[in-house]
Amino acid sequence: MPAYSLDLEGPEERTFVESHDFPNEMRPGATFTHDGWTWQVIEVATKQFDAPGQPVLTLRCIPA
């Protein structure tokens, strides 16, 4: 199971989730549900700095 950090750009606020597991690799355009919202991936980014205990990749997402 691949794990990603989530950068969720919601309509009211921006939220960062340190780690979230997915059954498959995520790519731009993919959608998923988290915390009662449906999100669309707009970018898969590599972190510039090591964050111990966090995945290397972050999904930047907007409400779908």
What does the pLDDT read at residue 52? 86
Tokens (6 digits) for 1: 């199971």
Instruction: Report how many domains make up the chain.
Output: 1
Q: What is the pLDDT of residues 40-63, one digit of tens each?
A: 999 999 988 887 889 999 999 999
- Residue 20 contacts residue 5 (beta carbons within 8 Å): yes
Q: What is the pLDDT of residues 11-24, one digit of tens each?
A: 889 999 999 999 99
What does the pLDDT read at residue 49? 85
Note the Cα 19 to chain centre separation in Å.
Answer: 8
Q: What letter does residue 10 receive in the DSSP assignment? A: -
Q: What is the pLDDT of residues 26-41, one digit of tens each?
A: 999 999 999 999 999 9
- Residue 63 contacts residue 14 (beta carbons within 8 Å): no
What does the pLDDT read at residue 32? 97
Q: In terms of residue numbers, what domain contains 20?
A: 3-63
